[in-house]
Structure 1
Amino acid sequence: MLLEAIPYPQYLLWLLATPVQFYVAWPFYQGAWMALKNRSANMDTLVALGTSAAYFYSVYLVLTGHAEQFFETSAVLITFIVLGKYLEATARKRTSNAISELMSLAPRKARVLRDGKEQMVSVDELVVGDTIIVRPGEKVPADGIIIEGHSSIDESMVTGESIPVEKQRGSTVIGATINAQGSFTMRAERVGAATTLSRIIRLIEDAQSRKAPVQRFADAVSAVFVPIVLLIALLALLAHLLLGSSVTASVIAAVAVLVIACPCALGLATPTAIMVGTGLGAKHGVLIKGGDALETLHRIKQVVFDKTGTITNGTPEVTDVIVIAPVRGAAGAKNAEKDVLSVAASLEARSEHPLAQAILRRAKPKDKVARFAAVPGKGITGIISRKQYLFGNAKLMVAHGVEVTDDARRRMQELESEGKTVMLLADKRLLAMIAVADTIKDGAADAIAGLARMGVSATLLTGDNERTARAIARQAGISDVVAEVLPEQKASAIKRLQKKG
């Protein structure tokens, strides 16, 4: 109705369709031209052919005085396909955000020893063989080997192990992990693009750049499909002419073949499905690599789970408090557990160890601590109310002459077999054991059981140690465990599982 009130409406439609055809659709023409130079054809070729046929035939109709035209056909086709590409780009942006977050984990500066002097340099200036000093709380700037000192390092961002790993001379350290306690000197073995973190980022980028199988299939088929479409369009034109149709009707039939062959459905439907699927996954904390993963999802027989933050909550919590002897001066046996936790929290309030947060989430520090000292690889000591307390592992107890009975050691082994880290509290005698572990998420076991009912088996694939991994797997109802696998090795591990069928 509106167009009828406008003089020469076909010219207005021509004007509006032209920028869509030659500006918005320009990338399709570029893609088609590149394919033509390589003597092949792809989806861009089909888009360029179909929309150009509709557009230029409409121009011919306008110039020859015909009222009908098909500008809206080419414009709508281009709009839908470009919309599909936009939706696909939106889905990819989510993965790009994940890559940006990974890149932000890398430290910017490193403390190196050069010519006998300590200096701060950009991590980009590091070279293999550099001697680097790492202090408590700092990120390790490169992959390397400790040549002096010892510490505990939080490697959860790379290996998935929630408990800090003890490191000493000769131990390997991974770039971007966090030094929890103690200073050490290391020799850089892999820097820049060769580091573990950089390899992880490249794995994600490679996965992101891959097309969905249906899109790769469409490109492969296009090489054969385009000549066939052109032949069918020519046959349609000739058939209509031989059957006595007008030239206009015959050309319309040929153009219709080219327009119908334009892959509008694939151009819009595939990216839309990918966007919705990846969007729902992201909403539930699942990063889907791309369309190929979605397309094969219905055929899965086995699901591989990471441990930290997937099956477990990702943060250590106090799971057991075993009181062996009451804290002297405490309010009585009834409050023995509370008193033990209070002393432990008071000591840990000044500690930089990640496990300290588990204690502090369970109890509040009440007492002032004097002469606090951290003993790397063993634990901490401090004086509360003129009494020295020790809080750490069995090595710390032995170093201070505290007896750890056979019964206490058996109980420690039982807790450790469940994947828990056991810390001992003592004054001149052993007072208590406090076990800390990364607990499984509510509903994790139910989800694994649900998969089993669907005929889908589950595997736990983690960088954590074998003992902890199997303990978590037992709680979640997973029988198959692959432990102590670094991130760059996980793809190979999954390929091995795929070969097994």
Structure 2
Amino acid sequence: MNNPNTITFPVYGMHCGSCATNLNKAFDRIEGIESQVNLATEKATLTFDENNNKRPLATMIMEVLSEKGYQTDHQTIKFEAEWSCSSCVESTLKAIKSHHLVIDATANFATKTLQINTFAGISTKQFITELIALSPYPLTHKVAITTQQQLQNKQKSEREKQRKENMSLVIALLLSLPFWAAMINMLFSDTPLLSPWVEFAFATPLQFIIGARFYKGAWNSLKGGSANMDVLVILGTSAAYFFSLFLLLSNTPSHLYFETSSLVIVLIRLGKYLEFRAKQASSKAINALSQLQVLDALVKKGKTFKRTLIEEVQVNDIVQVAVGDKVPVDGIVIEGNSYIDESLLTGESAAIQKQQDAQVFAGTLNGDGTLLIKTTAVNEQTKLHNIIQLVESAQMSKAPILQLVDKVSAIFVPIVLLIAAMTFTVWMFTTGDLEQALMHSVAVLVIACPCALGLATPTAMVVGTGLAAQKGILIKDINTLQLAHKLKHIAFDKTGTLTKGQVAIDDVTAFDSQFLPFLLAMQQSSKHPIAKAVIAYCNEMDITAEQISQPQNIHGKGLHGRFKEQDILVGNRKLLSHFDINVEQQLANHKINIAADQNVIYVCYADSLLGFFSIADELRPESHTAIGELKELDITTTLISGDKHSVVQAMSEELGINSFYAEQTPEQKLQQLSLLQKDGLVAMVGDGVNDAPALAQADVSIAMGGGSDVAKQTASMTLMHDDPQLIAMAMKISRATWTTIRQNLFWAFIFNALAIPAAALGYLSPSIAAIAMSASSLIVLSNSLLLKRTRLK
């Protein structure tokens, strides 16, 4: 082989030697490949010659694995890119995807971030260098933020970049002041305010120092085989500048256009500055979360605690968290008692008591007690880091409408160049005036700046997902934001979603004053959830327990005890029947009828019924409002639960839910959701493992923040605190975002459709074209940023 390369990657799903042999043969059938598949280590090693393959090797490897039914681990590599328009993005993606080991690549112009998907374990320095060399635009490898120090370095870099941007803009505005004064003077006098050589002196640094970034961007674009907005800027301003310089040096008596080239540079530079500030604002949600990360932790080493860098903390380490410190990792409390402020993660204002076996999360603030915790997740596995990744992923993903905009932008520049060339040719042919033909073609180039089309739309998406994050709604991908505004139906699980997921005492009926004292006495020694609910209820009622003896649990039935040599029973009908108590007759004596399927607990003493109560999963206080707000948004609702028919029906009627399905298994939930989808897009809201299949089936899946990890991993949207009102909030944000995008696209397309012909026909001078172009970009950009001021209840 010539120029051989070797990669090794894991392969999962092989069961026997023949599996490895067959996969080995499949790889060897790829031209230019020699493979070795090891069943014991579950790894494949490929030696290949990249020059022998017309298609990227990664694509062929994935096709073989998919065909054989095997899987491998992937790795994501991120870069920061120096782009100036959306066509820069397209040319970069095209170049990067040509690398033989790149599985896929995605980019976001608004955040200037490139994300590459490849095989795990091959991101060597050589691989990174190859990717950077392939790109027509400068790339900087982006290391994941895992410590406070890294965040500080990033913020320092951003502040330095902002300082340079501010200084560059100030210099540009100062150098342009004489030209603004000259233009105002032209309105009142025919005598030029500036001499030709003074204009030249001010225009030159504007053209080649302030405008250097546009020359650099244009060169990179052309080198990459495309023509972006920078090409338009440089063609237009260079034509005006050098034509004026020619007239000046040849001493030709004619109007010079130094002010045109200069003001175009300054106005576009102003637009770039505003774009830069908008991008900074869009990343505030990520920065705010990143600031919660800590630099080190006190880790138990032998008999002492040593301060250890956070990257070196391992799962199952014992970590000490002092009073007032941030929790450095996710873990379980093994010793101590304290209150933890989790408001920055969950939105809950009240501190939460944490004691033994309680779970704590990185980034939360410890209150008044020292805690020892056993780590369960560190660094990139923590809940905090996952939240940061969710927000970044939402901003990285690209909705179909953005893909359309990028495609339009990619072909827009060549079309504009053709129109400019035709404008020059027609004006030159019809008038014979070189100066006039040049100025009209320059006006076309200036007015056609695609900033409004290429930037304002993704900025609206970034602002929308950022606004959702600030409200406690994490959106995993922008496709979810796109679908959410079209939803007409939402299905809910009951327990833990519309209810608190906790047992509560309901409908207490007492026939004797000893009912609650006996009930409390029997439940004090129990750790059952019902016991906790009883104790909480009795404490609120200021009940004092009786002194009972011989309490014992009768599995599946209830509790039995003794008081003054008489039996005390607390339990269901089976328990009372076991002690030969006819509960139906005693209820009839009190003229009460209770359905057999109701969750009722009875209390008896000396064979006499003292009273009863029902148990229920208490509704969240926000559930009524949440369903009402969805109705106001013209969204119908369905309750799908595994609970009893009578319970589900009662809750549906109480909340005003349109329809319900009770006693549903996970498979039945999935089937019901599929039926609902026949009538349109459906969202599913759940929190448990049993909701995961339905969440995966839904068009938009929403998990409660306090739900199971499986539910949150399956869902495309997570509510950081368990408030169902956030569902309506998410719908409102989605609708507001897509309204803004439609407005932006309308203005961008309408502006270019009207302005380009006007410039070609001679109705717009280059100076006026520059002002109009910048104004259009600022209008749609400002419209996107107005999303931040959206009034949401």
* TM range, smaller chain: 0.5 to 0.7
Structure 2 contact 298–307 (Cα < 8 Å) conserved = yes
CA shift, 1:7, in A, is 2.9
Runs of 5+ consecutive residues of structure 2 not aligned to the other structure: 1-183, 520-531, 549-553, 563-567, 576-593, 602-609, 638-678, 719-793
Q: Residues 141 and 288 (structure 1 numbering): CA distance in 2 closer, same or farther, change over 3 Å? A: closer
Instruction: Quote the residue 1:79 is aligned against.
Output: 267
Q: Residues 36 and 103 (structure 1 numbering): CA distance in 2 closer, same or farther, change over 3 Å? A: same
Structure 2 contact 210–265 (Cα < 8 Å) conserved = no
- The 5 A counterparts of 1:16-35 are 21-22=207-208, 24-35=210-221
Instruction: Quote the residue 2:281 is aligned against.
Output: 93
Query: 1:114 and 2:114 equivalent?
Result: no
TM-score, normalized by length of structure 1? Answer: 0.56
1:2 to 185, 188, 204: 185
2:572 to 398, 406, 413: 406
Q: Residues 280 and 45 (structure 1 numbering): CA distance in 2 closer, same or farther, change over 3 Å? A: same
- The 5 A counterparts of 1:216-365 are 220=407, 225-227=412-414, 229-243=416-430, 245-266=432-453, 270=457
Instruction: Quote the residue 1:425 is aligned against.
Output: none
CA shift, 1:66, in A, is 2.0
Instruction: Quote the residue 1:194 is aligned against.
Output: 381
Structure 1 contact 88–274 (Cα < 8 Å) conserved = no
SS at match of 1:112: strand
Q: Residues 328 and 446 (structure 1 numbering): CA distance in 2 closer, same or farther, change over 3 Å? A: closer
Query: 1:459 and 2:625 equivalent?
Result: no
Runs of 5+ consecutive residues of structure 1 not aligned to the other structure: 341-355, 368-382, 389-393, 417-421, 423-428, 474-478, 494-501
Q: Residues 50 and 6 (structure 1 numbering): CA distance in 2 closer, same or farther, change over 3 Å? A: closer
Instruction: Quote the residue 2:84 is aligned against.
Output: none
Instruction: Quote the residue 2:675 is aligned against.
Output: none
The amino acid that maps onto 1:69 is Y
Deviations 1:391-449 (A, max 9, x none): xxx99x979999633279999x9789xxxxx9xxxxxx999989765322553213333
Q: C-alpha separation between the residues in 2 aligned to 1:277 and 1:209?
A: 13
Deviations 1:164-221 (A, max 9, x none): 999988x9976557899997652x4542223342233123224335677666656555
Instruction: Quote the residue 2:112 is aligned against.
Output: none
- The 5 A counterparts of 1:205-224 are 205-209=392-396, 220=407
Deviations 1:60-117 (A, max 9, x none): 45654422537347635762574366257436524x3322333344466644321233
Deviations 1:446-467 (A, max 9, x none): 3333343698655344545769
Structure 2 contact 487–683 (Cα < 8 Å) conserved = no
Q: Residues 149 and 305 (structure 1 numbering): CA distance in 2 closer, same or farther, change over 3 Å? A: same
The CA RMSD over aligned residues, in Å, is 6.7
SS at match of 1:41: coil
Deviations 1:367-401 (A, max 9, x none): 9xxxxxxxxxxxxxxx989999xxxxx99x97999
The percentage of counterpart residues that share the same residue type is: 32
Instruction: Quote the residue 1:446 is aligned against.
Output: 628
Q: Residues 93 and 37 (structure 1 numbering): CA distance in 2 closer, same or farther, change over 3 Å? A: same
Structure 2 contact 330–359 (Cα < 8 Å) conserved = yes
Q: C-alpha separation between the residues in 2 aligned to 1:119 and 1:316?
A: 40
The amino acid that maps onto 1:90 is A
Q: Residues 7 and 135 (structure 1 numbering): CA distance in 2 closer, same or farther, change over 3 Å? A: closer
Q: C-alpha separation between the residues in 2 aligned to 1:43 and 1:219?
A: 13
Query: 1:490 and 2:721 equivalent?
Result: no
Q: Residues 138 and 49 (structure 1 numbering): CA distance in 2 closer, same or farther, change over 3 Å? A: same
Q: Residues 58 and 121 (structure 1 numbering): CA distance in 2 closer, same or farther, change over 3 Å? A: same
Q: Residues 138 and 32 (structure 1 numbering): CA distance in 2 closer, same or farther, change over 3 Å? A: same
Which has the bigger relative contact order, CA under 8 A and spacing at least 6? Answer: 1
CA shift, 1:266, in A, is 2.3
CA shift, 1:248, in A, is 1.9
Number of paired residues? 426
The amino acid that maps onto 2:683 is T
Deviations 1:131-181 (A, max 9, x none): 3467999876434678x6799999998899999999988x99765578999
Q: Residues 113 and 13 (structure 1 numbering): CA distance in 2 closer, same or farther, change over 3 Å? A: same
SS at match of 1:404: strand
TM-score, normalized by length of structure 2? Answer: 0.39
Q: C-alpha separation between the residues in 1 aligned to 2:487 and 2:681?
A: 9
Structure 1 contact 327–431 (Cα < 8 Å) conserved = no
Deviations 1:40-79 (A, max 9, x none): 3333333433444344445545654422537347635762
Structure 1 contact 151–179 (Cα < 8 Å) conserved = no
SS at match of 2:214: helix
Instruction: Quote the residue 1:38 is aligned against.
Output: 224
Structure 2 contact 475–716 (Cα < 8 Å) conserved = no
Residues 77-86 or 190-199, more deviating: 77-86
